[in-house]
Amino acid sequence: MNSPATKPPVTRLFGLGIRNMRFAEANQHLLEVASNRDHASRVVVTPNVDHMTKLEYEPEFKTQYATSDYIFADGMPIIWASKMCALPLPERVTGADLFVSLCRGCIEKDLSIFVLGGMPGQESLLLESFARTYPGLKVDIFCPSMQFNADGAESDLAIQRIQATKPNILFICLGMPKQERLAFRYRAQFTTDNVPLILCVGAAMEFALGQKKRAPLWMQKIGMEWFWRLASEPRRLWQRYTTQAWRFVGLLLRERKIQKQMH
């Protein structure tokens, strides 16, 4: 088991250092990080195919994204692509799964969480839902407006709320790249008196509270979770899972050449 002070091994893929860990190991490691306040905030991102293709169009942001303390592969196509590498990734470590397992771990270890996300004005409803789903969990929530950005006055207010509650884990559920930009801002702003662990997890809270239904486990295992989500929200997600998929094929072809040169 890697201690929080130990850097887990990485697999170099698509210009990122993706942590080469199984889910159970990653979960335990992150709980240990969250339990210890004697270090700077550590940022966790979980890229999927959509994220990978978007990063290619924002090189400056990709450079910043690559500085995340933990990068885990959320999408099954990324796991398949890693078979080209000398050190293939063993399995997915998804933001949706981490949200659930870390909430349960926080109950066991008496740790607290803060969630930044959800529809505006839903704090009370979400707190009630957390109380039903994760009884005993210490949780605070801030639901920002749809105009939220990492550098605005509303983000200042959100950070004030976070600092007032001093959580062990901050879950940012705003979608990419808003959530990552805020996480990097927070990490740079607070070198002490900070949140030990920050996870950028998109729609994870909605899945964890049953507001959205995840694909059956068998579909997740064969890499068809994208199809389930597309069928569930076709208008919102059709471009992500059609246009972006073809762009990812181009990334794969380029990465194949890079990996051949490295071996």
Span of 14-18, 23-27, 242-246 with lowest mean pLDDT? 242-246
Note the pLDDT tens digit of each residue in 207-240. Answer: 899 876 665 676 666 565 655 565 566 666 556 6
Please report the pLDDT score of residue 213 as a whole number: 64
Ramachandran angles phi, psi of 215, nearest 5°: -65, 150
**More confident site: 146 or 250:** 146
**More confident site: 183 or 235:** 183
Residues forming a β-bridge with 17: 12
- Residue 1 confidence (pLDDT) above 60: no
In the chain, the amino acid numbered 42 is R
- Contact criterion met (CB below 8 Å) for 78 and 48: yes
What pTM was estimated for this model as a whole? 0.88
Rounded to 10°, the helix 178-189/153-165 angle is: 60
Distances (CA, A) of 127 to 4, 95, 137: 30, 20, 10
Note the pLDDT tens digit of each residue in 83-103. Answer: 999 999 999 999 999 999 999
> In which element (H, E) is residue 57 found?
none
Q: How far apart are the first and last CA of the chain?
A: 28
